[in-house]
Structure 1
Amino acid sequence: MRQRRTRSLQWVLVRRLILLQAAMLAIFIALCAAALWIANPTLLVDNEAAVVALKKAVDRNSDGTLVVHETEELRQFRESFPHAWYIVRDRTGQSVRSGDVPDIYTGTPGVLLGAVDHATLELARDDLRPEAYVENATSKAGPIQIIAATRSSREQTDGLEINISATIDVARNPDGSRNWQRALPALALLLAILLLPIVVVMGITTLVTTPAVVRRSFAGLVDTADQAARIDISTRGMQLPVQHVPQEIAPLVQAFNQTLARLAHGYDQHNRFLTDAAHELRTPIAILRTRAELLTKEPQSERLLQDIERLSHLAQQLLDHQMLERPADERRIIDLTELGRRVTADLAPLAIEAGYDLAFEPPQGKVEVQANGSQIERALANLVRNAIDHGGGSGTITVAIDESGGIEVRDEGPGIPLAERENVFQPFYRLQPQSRGAGLGLNLARQIAQLHGGTVRILGGSERGARVRIELPALR
């Protein structure tokens, strides 16, 4: 079954933000439309405001002539627009004008202007004569026509003017009522045209900015994850920082730190138990070896001594594993040539007793490395003991040192099959279940080499037997 990919929090936030913005925009427009529908406001531009003020000021004298009274509203308007002008006409042809009226508006209006309700009169763009507003209205003086503007020339502007005009007319029935069945699809299309570009722009902006914002917000979490990935058995007491982690993730990091602390405590207890057990075993094993050596030389007593030696070696290997916990400041510069010669001499009696010849091949001069000498000795001793246990009981075991920092142990036994060359480094893994070894020697040697920045490999070749090589960084 294919494993389902985990969701990306970054893109979940992006999608949800886009949907939230689109929903908020739609709700905002709906609320604005409802408010305008209920309030039914009338928006006036300057020319139309002039006409509104004039309609309230037009009247007739006692002799029936048109007159424009200087009302407070009209006076304030004149103060705001000192260049305003107007023409007021009635159906009999009487007219009242004020201000600097452009010549083009002084003529008699046509039949069309007499029939329309209101209109904006606009000239060509390169014409300096201003636009005006005309409206056929009803006043105290009866039906009148007013033409007005706030300036007599386009040169009287303040430098920039923006006019926005929008007219919405809904389809109507023959009786004059609005036909919403026909109007709603058009309104929906109009809203889609207005909203879609805004949603697209907001969505693109969200796609571009949100990932960067999320990555910046999660930068501390990414650093914490990198530190967590570097935790291994040698840094098990490490605690992850929570200072730069988002507040929502901090409880998870704190719980992980508590788990690390419990694991480190349990691991230390386990190590102390193994160390104490190995130390406790050494005393009865030594007593058992002493008593066995007092027995008469018989095949059974010889096998008993071999089993006691094997048990003693296993206890020593358990102690060697605990040596790996020693800090790196115990390292010093050591000579591999001298170390190899010493280990070979110490193990020569054991190898000869087992039926082998033990040879040592030194380099031309010193080979110096910075290492924990006792740990390197134990690694080499384990390789030689491993060759003694599995080398077939005959032939020569060779310990060779070279100038590059390599230590090689060769025997003339059956060797290690290619398919098993990685498995033998696992603890307690043995090629022969009934073999004398405990399956810890190669594992211990690899851990010691890795602790010193080196490697352990099983080499192939045409030669008979096994070749195990430790490579340590030599000091040049």
Structure 2
Amino acid sequence: MRKVRPRSLQWILIRRLILLQAATLLLFIVLCAAALWIANPSLLIDNEAAVAAVKDAVERDKDGGLIVRETEDLAAFRRSFPNVWYIVRDDHGQSVRSGTIPDVYTKDFGGLLGEADHATIGFSDKDMRPEAYIENASTRAGAVRIIAATQSSRQETDGLEINISATVEVARYPDGSRNWERALPALALVVAILLLPIVLVMGAITLVTTPAVVRRSFAGLVETVRQAARIDIGTRAMQLPVKHVPQEIAPLVHAFNDALARLAQGYDRHNRFLTDAAHELRTPIAILRTRAELLRQEPQSARLLHDIERLSHLAQQLLDHQLLDRPSDQREIVDLDDLVRRVAADFAPLAIEAGYDLAFEPSPDKTRVEVNVLQIERALANLVRNAIEHGGGAGTITLAIDRSGGIEVRDDGPGIPVDERENVFEPFYRLHPQSRGAGLGLDLARQIALLHEGTIRILAGSWRGARIRMELPVRS
């Protein structure tokens, strides 16, 4: 069955934000085009606006003379452009003038401008004469020609003058109507040329900034995930911070923290129960051992002593498991040779009594490790007890150290079958059901090694017996 990969919320948000911004840009373009199409705006520069203001003010007096009334629009335009001037002429030669008019505009511009509907008159860049706008307009006084400008000279500018004009000429039929079949392809090309840079720039900015914004928004959540990954049995009381977590994710983090607190409480209750039970068992076990030793030496009393020893060993291993809860700040840097030598000295009488020789092989170099001494001593004690229990009652039990931080416990017994070398590290698993052990010694040793970022494994080779190797990180 194909495994379903979880969807990335980050990339879902990035894709949707990019699509949303693209749709918004497209809608904006469409709305602008529709507004321009419906409104059909006429954009006027200053000189054209001056002609438009004058055109609305042209009238005839009662004698038929040409006049320009001071309308509200024209007065407002004068306030905005104090240097405005204009000339209004009709077909009968009457004219009205206002403002300081440059000499060049007092001349007759000929028949061509008389036929043109409108035109802009300009001069070279070095010429100080201003541009003007001329239009043949239809007014209340009839057809007139209006020339107007907002300046009498280019020296009257405020220091910077920007003129923007655009003329779009659409192909026409002979009757003057627009030929859109020919005009639309060219118009579409012009629009594409104008809009393509905007679309490319906005698209590039969107593609670059959107992932960065989303990743920054998720930074607090990513850090919370990293802290959650560091939680283990030794840090079960840890709580995930919610300060930098998005508001929508905060309830999930709070629920996770509550679950951690409940698990920690349950685990502590379980541990207290095991500890109390083990302590309670030790007293009746000690009483039973004393009474059994007072019995006459009979086969039944020997088996009873054997069963009592199993109970005592089980109670001790249950207590040993509580060592796993020791905090990591109780570690210290020690010489590995000294630590292992103490364990070997403690177990030498027990090994000799069981029929073994006990050997200790120190490291050729000084090996220093940072460990919880009590935990490592209990782990080694369980490995040595395991060797005494399963070593066959003869031969040599050896504790050897090398410069890489490895500790090997060797015996000359029957060894551990290859297919059982993983099973023996499981709790309560025993190779021989009638043995005195409870099946917790190797499990405890492995957990202690893992707490110290170390390893423990059973070595394979042609030698006789079992070799269990525990490796601890060496401090330089």
Deviation at 1:252, TM superposition (A): 0.7
Match of 2:467 in 1: 467
1:20-419 to 2 correspondences below 5 Å: 20-29=20-29, 31=31, 42-60=42-60, 66-69=66-69, 73-102=73-102, 104-125=104-125, 127-167=127-167, 195-299=195-299, 301-327=301-327, 335-336=338-339, 339-348=342-351, 350-352=353-355, 356-361=356-361, 374-400=374-400, 407-416=407-416
Match of 2:9 in 1: 9
Deviation at 1:348, TM superposition (A): 2.6
Deviation at 1:212, TM superposition (A): 2.5
How big is each residue's C-alpha offset from its partner over 1:19-47, in whole Å with a ceiling of 9 and x where there is no partner? 33333344445555666666666543221
- CA contact 1:336–1:405 (8 Å) conserved in 2: no
- CA contact 1:343–1:380 (8 Å) conserved in 2: no
Secondary structure class of the residue paired with 2:203: helix
- Which deviates further from its counterpart, 364-373 or 28-37? 364-373
- What letter is aligned with 1:324? L
Deviation at 1:68, TM superposition (A): 4.2
What is the TM-score with the length of structure 2 in the denominator?
A: 0.81
Give RMSD over aligned pairs. Answer: 4.0
* Compared CA separation, residues 38 and 455, structure 1 to 2 (3 A): closer
- Which deviates further from its counterpart, 388-397 or 142-151? 388-397
- What letter is aligned with 2:137? A
How big is each residue's C-alpha offset from its partner over 1:311-364, in whole Å with a ceiling of 9 and x where there is no partner? 332222122112322445766768426523432234235522xxx334445679
CA distance in 2, matches of 1:342, 1:143: 126
- CA contact 2:357–2:395 (8 Å) conserved in 1: yes
- Which deviates further from its counterpart, 217-226 or 186-195? 186-195
CA distance in 1, matches of 2:445, 2:229: 25
* Compared CA separation, residues 121 and 424, structure 1 to 2 (3 A): farther
Identity %: 73
Deviation at 1:262, TM superposition (A): 0.9
Deviation at 1:237, TM superposition (A): 0.9
Deviation at 1:441, TM superposition (A): 1.5
Deviation at 1:251, TM superposition (A): 0.5
Match of 1:448 in 2: 448
Unmatched segments (≥5 aa) in structure 2: none
CA distance in 2, matches of 1:366, 1:102: 105
CA distance in 2, matches of 1:444, 1:82: 99
* Compared CA separation, residues 310 and 25, structure 1 to 2 (3 A): same
* Compared CA separation, residues 105 and 417, structure 1 to 2 (3 A): farther
Secondary structure class of the residue paired with 2:158: coil
- CA contact 2:58–2:140 (8 Å) conserved in 1: yes
CA distance in 2, matches of 1:187, 1:435: 96
CA distance in 2, matches of 1:4, 1:475: 44
Deviation at 1:447, TM superposition (A): 2.6
CA distance in 2, matches of 1:443, 1:257: 29
- What letter is aligned with 1:246? P
What is the TM-score with the length of structure 1 in the denominator?
A: 0.81
* Compared CA separation, residues 14 and 197, structure 1 to 2 (3 A): farther
- CA contact 2:317–2:440 (8 Å) conserved in 1: yes
- Which deviates further from its counterpart, 27-36 or 131-140? 27-36
- CA contact 1:344–1:399 (8 Å) conserved in 2: no
* Compared CA separation, residues 272 and 183, structure 1 to 2 (3 A): farther
How big is each residue's C-alpha offset from its partner over 1:105-139, in whole Å with a ceiling of 9 and x where there is no partner? 44433444223332333444554433221111223
- Which deviates further from its counterpart, 380-389 or 276-285? 276-285
Unmatched segments (≥5 aa) in structure 1: none
* Compared CA separation, residues 175 and 291, structure 1 to 2 (3 A): farther
- CA contact 1:386–1:441 (8 Å) conserved in 2: yes
Deviation at 1:233, TM superposition (A): 0.4
Deviation at 1:273, TM superposition (A): 2.4
CA distance in 2, matches of 1:138, 1:365: 112
Secondary structure class of the residue paired with 2:159: coil
* Compared CA separation, residues 194 and 12, structure 1 to 2 (3 A): farther
* Compared CA separation, residues 71 and 309, structure 1 to 2 (3 A): closer
Deviation at 1:148, TM superposition (A): 1.7
- CA contact 2:278–2:316 (8 Å) conserved in 1: yes
Secondary structure class of the residue paired with 1:243: coil
* Compared CA separation, residues 99 and 360, structure 1 to 2 (3 A): closer
Deviation at 1:80, TM superposition (A): 3.8
- What letter is aligned with 2:394? S
- CA contact 2:404–2:474 (8 Å) conserved in 1: yes
CA distance in 2, matches of 1:365, 1:215: 50
Aligned residues: 473
* Compared CA separation, residues 125 and 416, structure 1 to 2 (3 A): farther
- What letter is aligned with 1:342? A
How big is each residue's C-alpha offset from its partner over 1:173-217, in whole Å with a ceiling of 9 and x where there is no partner? 999888889888877776665555434322321222233323333
CA distance in 1, matches of 2:4, 2:171: 54
Secondary structure class of the residue paired with 1:49: helix
